[in-house]
Amino acid sequence: MRTPPYPHPLIAREGWPMLAGSVVVSLLVGLWSGWIAIPFWIFTLFALQFFRDPVREAPEGDGLVLSPADGRIVCVEDAADPYAEDRPAVKISVFMNVFNVHSNRCPVDGEVQSLTYFPGKFFNASLDKASLENERNAMVLRTADGQLVTAVQVAGLVAKRILCHARIGQNLYAGQRYGFIRFGSRVDVYLPPGSRPRVAIGDKVHATHTVLAELPVVSQEDESRV
C-alpha cells in the first residue's frame, strides 16, 4: 500500500469557509438562545461530516484503476466515451449520496490530456441520463503505455458546484486528490476496451482504496503505435 506524498487536511479545504461561517453563526445565535442554536449546530455537524477528507492508502499493482469516489456502483457496461471521440469503452459509475466523502481522486497514473466543462441540468445523479444531461466536468488522462482513461464529475439533484483542480499537461498519480463535488453526485469512469471490472452494480466502494478494474495489457507493438 502507498500513502499520499502530500500534506492532507482531514477536512477538505473547499469546506473551510462554510464550516467557519456555520460555527460563528451558531455561537452568536447560542449567545441569544441555546435552544434556537440547536438547528445551527446540527447543520455545522452535517457540514463537518460532509467535508471530511480522510487519508487513503492505494493498493500496489500495475494496471489498477482506483475508485475516484466513495459511494455505490450504479453502472458497469460497455459504452462509447463521448469525451474521447466516442471510442469504445468500459463505463463504471459511482453514485455518491450526501453522507459519502465527496473528495474526488484520480483513478490512474496519467497525464491530463483535456479538461472540458459542460453546463447542464440537475437530475438525480443515480439515473443513467445524468451522465450526459447534468452539469459535468470531464478529464481525459493518458497512461504511460498510451491508454486513455476518462473521469467525469457529474453534478446531482442538489449538487451546485463541481470543483476540478487538475490542469492540462499535469501528471497525476492514482489516488491523488484532484477535485470535489458539493452534495449528491456521481463520477463516471470510461476505460479502454478489454479492461476487466472488479466491481458489480450495488457494490459499495471507497475512493483510492477500492480497485474498480484492471486495464488491459498493452503489447510493445501496440504501444509503439500510440
How far apart CA 153 and CA 48 sit, in angstroms, is: 22
Contact 67, 207 (CB under 8 A): yes
Residue 23's Cβ-side half-sphere holds a number of Cα atoms within 13 Å equal to 6
Rg (C-alpha) for the chain, rounded Å, is 19
Is 195 a residue of the active site?
Answer: no
Look at residue 172 and give its three-state secondary structure: strand
Contacts of residue 123, defined as CB under 8 A and 6 or more positions apart, other chains included, come to: 129, 130, 133, 134, 156, 157
Q: Give the residue among 153, 152, 155, 151 at the shortest CA–CA distance from 135.
A: 155
Residues 22, 93, 103, 185: which is the catalytic one?
Answer: 185
What is the set of active-site residues? 185
